[in-house]
Amino acid sequence: MKAAISLQRRAFYRILLLFSLVFIVVGFVSILAIDGATRHAAKSNLLVRSHVVEQVLNSYLTRAEYEMGYISQDLILGDYRPGTELDMLFSHHEVLFFGGLDFFYIDWAKRKGATDPRARVYTQDNIPELLTKGIINRWVKVSTADGAILLMYKKKLVSKGRILEGYLYGFVSLNNNLTLSSELLDGAKADLISLYDRETGALLLKESKAGFDPSDNVVAVMSDIETPVYSSQYRLSLSKRIPISESILSVWMQVLIFVFLVLLGLYALLMFLIKRLVFMPLSMIAQYPESDQVVYSELQPIQAKSLQYRGFLTAKENRFQLLLESTHSAIIFCDEMAEVEEINQDAIRLFPHYQNSRTVFDFMPISCHKAIQEVLKGGVGVSFELTLSNLNKIYHWRAHSFINENGFRSIVLVGRDTTEERRLSWQLEQLKPSTLDLNQKLEVEVLLSEMTYLSQLPLYSPEGYLQGWISLVLEILESFQTIDNSVEQSSIGKLLSQESTHVMHQLGLDVAIIRIDCPVESGAAIVALDPYLKSLLHLVFMMAVTNAMQEKSITVRFENGMLEIVVSNDMVSRPFFQWVLMIVLKPLGGQSHKLRNNALRIHVPFEWHGKENAVLSSGLVVAWVVNDYSDSDRVQEGLKRLGVTVKVFLSGDDFFMQSASIKQFDAVIVGCDQEMEVQQTITADLEAQYNRTQLPVVWLNTRPVELGDYDVFSVTGCVFDYSLHQALIQSTQRKAIVPALMASQGVSWIIVGGSRVTKAILYAELEQRSIASQWLSDLSGYDSVLPYHSDAVIVLLEPQASSVLLRVQSHYPKVRCLAVQDWPERPEHVALFEISTPYTGEQISALEEFIQCQLLLGDMNE
């Protein structure tokens, strides 16, 4: 019986849902309105601040002009000796360090010009080439070949006697000036400031506050500004993040509360009217007799249908009584208490005293009670026989349970007269012949024939080959004697990999002698595995590897629920395989056909349970390091069929020398047959070079190996498309190897020694400064890192052996060593910059500046 549905409650819920949607829409619209007003006010404020930024920029350039006048006056009045102008200026003028100019250039008329050494911080271009664009007492914008954008100011150097001694050029950097960017950002009171060239649209200056995220709620304005730069017009962009403040939330909450109260009042009024005008009249209908009910025009079809339905029930009841009397079977209907409700005439003839009984248990024999009780509990398919000696009849009864009109389980008993059927069956049993015991004879001759053939194999057969072959035969035969109902599901490709490794290991053969052709689509199919399928694969691999006539190959396809295996064999001279194949295919329901090229095709039907959905990404680049792996062409062909770009390297040295030209490797497959040390060395060098252990490295071996501490993926056994596909699926989940990135990171820091806390602090600071770093516990393994970073800076957090440091200096002369603490035997080439623990951001900034100065001095000396 279906559960009753309340129309009143359903209507109330639907209207409540409608009002809730209205409330949500109004709340969303109010959020948009408040946010729009807030953003408009913020934009107006930013437009006002753009004028302040214009004043700050002009003030900064004015200060730089004052600094130019100060320097030019000092040069004329100081009468410095030629070549010592810069030393004298920097020795007693603090304005050079805290002024507006970033650097300057002195163009003497009668002697060699002098360049401010700070110029190399902003550009590597030749400064004299830029001087032709200068205009006296005017700022002009110039750009260098290395991307620096500068403002240049030209001023005359006139002696006391009004003689022109030369020109002084002052420069202010736009795209690399922290002081100017900071002053403009402070004056703008914004989170991001950008300065563009109005004519070309090029970005000249960009600065933002720490932690600014442009994906947040941000407003931006752009306006033109006026600057004293000759023949240049600029456009200023200001952006500011608008957080959700308490005032905005307060206004929004007031709007929501007002809307909620209005909708709540409307909902209460509407519910009252619906209940009064609709549901109360409906509830009055059931209180009156059918003839006195009030007829509503909307409900008139329902009331007429109810009267029609009552007539249908009366007609069906009459037809049911007619069927009960015409079935020629004894039928008894009972309720949930086993009391008789309906009984036909055939049942009354069997149990004429049923009216004197309260339940069916009172007039049915005790032998039937258990079956009837089982049906009352919900049993299905219950039947029993009842012999009536007084009538000389045998009735076969079937008991069925059903749910009556009150929702309780009831039963119906249907009895059929089977007296004649039982009499005939007794007669047939007397004529039934006795069963014959048929003994099956084991085909011992074919087994002995195969053993004789194996004993005549050449002497170069591997040791233990015959023992392994016998072991596999015993496994196949024992699988048919052991009853194992457990069925597991696995992909065909995974099973091929496991069984090929097992069979080759048992026979002591190299996995490279057999070629498997199994596409990814067939290998990814998931089927139910049982001992018969494993025995079939054992037999197929035995047929392939012992084939002496042609190539040892196996082709596997799975399409439309049919597994097709084509294996090269010489079964004509090997009756053993014919006999075992017939035994194996019988429980699997498979068939075999002989092909013209002495190959055997096997078809076995299987139920398809799904497919592995792993798909390789497009555009993958895979490095294949061959080493001493045999039949490397098979691996290369399989990778190309998978749609990846293959870069082949003959050895580890070949890989490290040539891989720098590749943008990235999504996976590196390292092959190995006997030389396990080479495979381990390549992996260790990659881990040291990229400073991580979870690399997309796959070991490809001809036999099972121990991975040890290396976190790599391993592929053993026969290699085919599915096994390579699964290895690439796993390895490409990891971060790719980017050799080009190691070459483009510039000068790298190699940190040696230090505690975990020290390393954590230093790593965080270097990452914020975008400094590439490598980490070594000591310098004993420098040969695995320095060949790829020959111009690196080695920072010694702990003292190291002097002999090791001297070897590093002799082998890699461009490497610079720096120690943060002194020790008695420190070599002379190891610079010292002492800092105390715990390290702070200021100390690391000072260390970075010291290293940059050392690098700059080293370049100048060269």
pLDDT tens, position by position, 494-538: 888 888 888 887 777 777 678 888 888 888 888 877 777 888 888
Residue found by looking up tokens 């099973």 in the block? 495
Q: Which DSSP helix (H) or strand (E) runs through 446?
A: helix 444-455
Q: Which DSSP helix (H) or strand (E) runs through 855?
A: helix 841-861
Of 206, 240, 211, 204, give the one whose Cα is nearest residue 46.
240
> Mapped to the 3 state alphabet, what secondary structure does 159-185 carry?
CCCCCEEEEEEEEEECCCCHHHHHHHH
Residue 467, number of CB atoms within 10 A of its CB: 12
pLDDT for 744 beyond 50: no
Average pLDDT of the segment spanning 271-279 = 82
Angstrom distances, CA of residue 363 to CA of 45, 356, 373: 100, 9, 15
pLDDT of residue 323: 67
pLDDT of residue 355: 84
pLDDT of residue 174: 92
Q: What is the pLDDT of residues 764-789, one digit of tens each?
A: 777 777 676 777 778 877 776 777 66
pLDDT of residue 432: 42
pLDDT for 229 beyond 80: yes
* pLDDT interval class at 747 (50, 70, 90): low
Average pLDDT of the segment spanning 842-847 = 81
Average pLDDT of the segment spanning 356-368 = 87
pLDDT of residue 457: 59
Q: Collapsing DSSP states into helix, strand and coil, what is residue 93? A: coil
Residue 754 backbone zone (phi > 0: left; psi -120 to 50: alpha; other: beta): left
Average pLDDT of the segment spanning 481-488 = 63
pLDDT of residue 401: 87
Average pLDDT of the segment spanning 739-756 = 66
Q: What is the pLDDT of residues 633-678, one digit of tens each?
A: 888 888 888 888 888 888 877 777 667 667 788 899 998 887 788 8
pLDDT of residue 825: 84
pLDDT for 585 beyond 50: yes
Choice among 4-8, 422-426, 458-462 with the minimum mean pLDDT: 458-462
Average pLDDT of the segment spanning 143-154 = 93
pLDDT of residue 438: 28
pLDDT for 98 beyond 70: no
Asked whether 150 and 142 are in contact (CB, 8 A), the reply is: yes
Could you tell me which residues come within 8 angstroms of residue 454 by beta carbon, excluding any fewer than 6 positions away? 465, 466, 469, 546
Tell me how far apart the alpha carbons of residues 412 and 754 are, in angstroms, rounded to a whole number: 88
Of 31, 401, 50, 5, give the one whose Cα is nearest residue 223.
50
Tell me how far apart the alpha carbons of residues 544 and 598 are, in angstroms, rounded to a whole number: 12
Could you tell me which residues come within 8 angstroms of residue 825 by beta carbon, excluding any fewer than 6 positions away? 799, 802
Angstrom distances, CA of residue 255 to CA of 19, 57, 112, 264, 517: 16, 44, 75, 14, 71
Average pLDDT of the segment spanning 702-712 = 80
Tell me how far apart the alpha carbons of residues 228 and 65 are, in angstroms, rounded to a whole number: 11
Q: Which two tokens stand for residue 413?
A: 């008993």
Residues 780, 782, 783, CA angle at the centre, nearest 5°? 115
Angstrom distances, CA of residue 795 to CA of 741, 781, 809, 816: 22, 15, 14, 9
* pLDDT interval class at 434 (50, 70, 90): very low
Average pLDDT of the segment spanning 16-37 = 87
Question: In whole angstroms, how large is the CA radius of gyration of the chain?
Answer: 47
pLDDT for 591 beyond 60: yes
Could you tell me which residues come within 8 angstroms of residue 747 by beta carbon, excluding any fewer than 6 positions away? 772, 791, 792, 793, 855
Residue found by looking up tokens 């003497």 in the block? 108
pLDDT of residue 661: 65
Asked whether 226 and 55 are in contact (CB, 8 A), the reply is: no
Asked whether 782 and 800 are in contact (CB, 8 A), the reply is: no
Q: What is the pLDDT of residues 442-476, one digit of tens each?
A: 466 666 777 676 666 554 456 667 777 777 877 77
Choice among 184-193, 264-273, 320-329, 358-367 with the minimum mean pLDDT: 320-329
Of 234, 51, 73, 77, give the one whose Cα is nearest residue 141.
234
pLDDT of residue 860: 42
Average pLDDT over the chain reads 80
Tell me how far apart the alpha carbons of residues 578 and 779 are, in angstroms, rounded to a whole number: 66
Burial (CB count <10 Å: 0-12, 13-18, 19+), residue 285: middle
* pLDDT interval class at 488 (50, 70, 90): confident
pLDDT for 206 beyond 70: yes
The residue ranking higher by pLDDT, 809 or 309, is 809
pLDDT of residue 107: 93
pLDDT for 145 beyond 70: yes
Average pLDDT of the segment spanning 87-94 = 72
Residues 114, 116, 122, CA angle at the centre, nearest 5°? 135
Average pLDDT of the segment spanning 605-617 = 80
The residue ranking higher by pLDDT, 64 or 97, is 64
pLDDT of residue 833: 83
Asked whether 394 and 422 are in contact (CB, 8 A), the reply is: yes
Asked whether 68 and 75 are in contact (CB, 8 A), the reply is: no
pLDDT of residue 572: 57
